[in-house]
Chains A and B, each alone.
Chain A
Amino acid sequence: MLQNTDTRELAILDIFGHRLRGTYHRSSDDRSGSWMSGTGADRPAVLFLNSLALPRAATGDSAVYWADSFARLGYPTFRFDLPGLGDSDGQTSTDVLDFINRGGFAPAAVGISRELVERGGYSGVVLVGHCAGAVTASYAAAAFKKCKGMILLDPYFHLPVAKRPESREKLSGWARRSALGRPLSNLVDRVKHLKLFLRGSALPGNANTRLLSKWNDLSNAGLPTLLFKAPGIKATGSKPRVGEFDYLEYVRKLAGRKGDLVMKSIEGSDHSFANRIGREAVRQEAEGWLASHFPLTGHEAHTKAISLPGAGSKRNGASRPRVAPPNPDCALEGR
């Protein structure tokens, strides 16, 4: 069996007694035989982390697509399976969501990042995480000084319930099918909205305060962060559903003037960003962001961020959002 293709190399790291397996997408100007040749000192490596329990290719192999693109642009890009996921060794907690929300995968993510910097010679890492992967990326970024930036796709900042009660599922199912469903659902949303209004700006009881505290640190440190948001259920743009707390607005305020947070709402995408519109928009926006924050010297990187019609093009802004089909594969959708 071969260990390489023209553009990829299989990588192994031993972290905390676990053999972790991943794929290196060779940067387009890498002529060395291995990612450990130490030729990337002028640039950060891009590291993709698993989303919940998905293997490192991610939904629709979207992570493979983005990794190929970033590598073509000149950024050495890695996708590693965290312990117990994908091809990596180790046992995952049966309550993987709770484990992730407490930052359980962060030490492994930091371990991988450190190895990439030490053995690959890169100037740092840019962490990429989707959904639960974004939670892991945030914890890891706060714990690793050589994290140079984050690309986060539909992060969440609360402690979701892994499985909703069956009776609640049945009620929701009825509401969706029935003619009365939509207006009734809207009424419930309005009641929630009223409760939220009465609470003022206080965080909801199920907020992941530990994670938000890390975000506060990262914002104060001015860590460059590109955040993608797909329109959610009964929601528009980066705004949440009526009656839900606006965490993105909260973290935007946390970022304040010191922070380097760019938010993009991707119209027509779903939660996975794996559909054609989502993956293209993420690729283009992320390429532009990488090129502007981590310019490559002596390398012809694409520096133009070409915004798709409908993809947010303003800093901290969203444009003409509309409701798009979510990806229900993810248990966190519909929270």
Chain B
Amino acid sequence: MTEHAGYFEVPGAHLYAVLHEVEQPTARVLLVGPFASERHNTYIPWVRWARFLAERNIEVLRYDYRGIGESTGDLQEMTFEDWSQDVKLLSDWLAARRPKAPLILHGLAMGAVLAGRAFDEGIGDGLLMWSPPFSANLALRSTLMRWVGLEQIFKFGADRRSTSDYICALEQGSTLEVDGYQWPTKLWQESFGFALPESLLTEQSTPDAGERPVKITRLGKEAAPLAKGGSVGYDDLKDFTWLFKPHFEWIAEAAMKSNQREQNAPEY
């Protein structure tokens, strides 16, 4: 099991990715992480999740969105379409690796919307979503609320601004600075229309759930910092085996079913 970091060239930027390589994988997983500042807060458990899977014979590719983290590009110029293209590029690359193995998409928060939309277009043999919002706007709103909540901790009386104050400024055309990231109005506006397909809002609503399994898990406070709550810098170092183990088992089972379907498929 080895880890290779590298860049993928995309129009106007380089995507930073880390492959947790496995020789004979039972499945491959593309991890689509959360957005902007949430990336930083969740980084340690997200990497540990990738390693947890790789130690159990599942090859993993994780990456940074265009314009964020180690990837290059200007965040203010990016669109949800760009980020969707990144998911497609990386899932194609991962699916083309040999030996062949089922491909599972796994998204967290904003990443769940991106992974879900790619899955809806036929990419991947299974989909795992942790805390998927209905739309990208809800993911942004959640990040914003968290940031505002923390901002307020250190402010008194009239100095305290509410989330709606910030949203108002954003909607009036001001760029909003959230945790050091510049959110342009365009990002906010586009986020309303960038939603999870209705068929993926629940596990049961997926039309071909039997063929291409879907699992949705809403993470509670105990999963911080993968979910809201907790203390930055402390919760990321805790043991997540209780969360990782059952989801690894689900991925292994989804991969096994995919292999069985492949074997039973008629040859033409």
Interface residues of A (CB under 8 A from B): 1-5, 8, 10, 19, 21, 23, 52-62, 64, 84-87, 89, 92-94, 96-97, 162-163, 172-173, 175-176, 179, 181-182, 185, 233, 272, 274-276, 279, 325-331, 333-334
Contacts and interface: CB of A to CB of B under 8 A. Distances in A.
B179 A176 contact: no
A331 B154 contact: no
Interface string B181-212: 11000000000000000000000000000000
Interface in B31-47: 37, 39-41, 43-44, 47
Q: How large is the interface on B (under 10, 10 to 19, 20 to 34, 35 or more residues)?
A: 35 or more
Given A23-B70, A59-B37, A86-B43, A2 B236 contact: no
Nearest to A52: B233
Interface of B: 3-9, 14, 17-19, 37, 39-41, 43-44, 47, 68-70, 72, 150-157, 160, 177, 179-182, 231-234, 236-238
Given A1-B17, A59-B37, A60-B179, A94 B5 contact: no
A21 B5 contact: yes
A97 B180 contact: no
Which of A55, A163, A274, A327: most chain B CB closer than 10 A? A55
Contacts of A173: 153
Contacts of A4: 7
Nearest to B155: A176
Given A23-B70, A55-B43, A61 B234 contact: no
A62 B156 contact: no
Nearest to A1: B6
Nearest to B239: A94
Contact of B233 (A61, A96, A179, A279): A96
Contacts of A87: 3, 5, 18, 47
Contact of A57 (B44, B70, B154, B182): B70
16 contacts: A1-B5, A2-B14, A53-B234, A54-B233, A60-B180, A86-B44, A86-B47, A176-B157, A181-B156, A325-B154, A325-B155, A329-B37, A329-B41, A329-B150, A331-B232, A334-B153
Contacts of B238: 94
A162 B231 CA distance: 9
A54 to B, nearest CB: 6
B239 to A, nearest CB: 9
Q: Which 7 A-B pairs have the closest CB atoms?
A: A60-B180, A1-B6, A274-B180, A328-B150, A52-B233, A2-B7, A53-B233
Contacts, number: 135
Contact of B154 (A93, A179, A333): A333
A219 B264 CA distance: 74
A325 B151 contact: yes
A169 to B, nearest CB: 9
A334 B177 CA distance: 21
B70 A275 contact: no
Contacts of A3: 6-7
Given A1-B19, A59-B37, A329 B14 contact: no
Contact of A163 (B7, B157, B234): B234
A328 B7 CA distance: 32
A331 B231 contact: yes
Given A2-B6, A274-B179, A92 B231 contact: no
A64 B154 contact: no
B31 to A, nearest CB: 13
B25 to A, nearest CB: 17
B178 to A, nearest CB: 8
Contacts of B6: 1-3, 10
Contacts of A162: 231, 234
A276 B14 contact: no
A291 B165 CA distance: 42
Nearest to B179: A60
A233 B7 contact: no
A92 B237 CA distance: 7
Contact of A54 (B9, B40, B177): B40
Nearest to A163: B231
Contacts of B47: 86-87
A333 B232 CA distance: 12
Which of A60, A89, A93, A276: most chain B CB closer than 10 A? A60
Nearest to A232: B154
B92 to A, nearest CB: 14
A190 B69 CA distance: 43
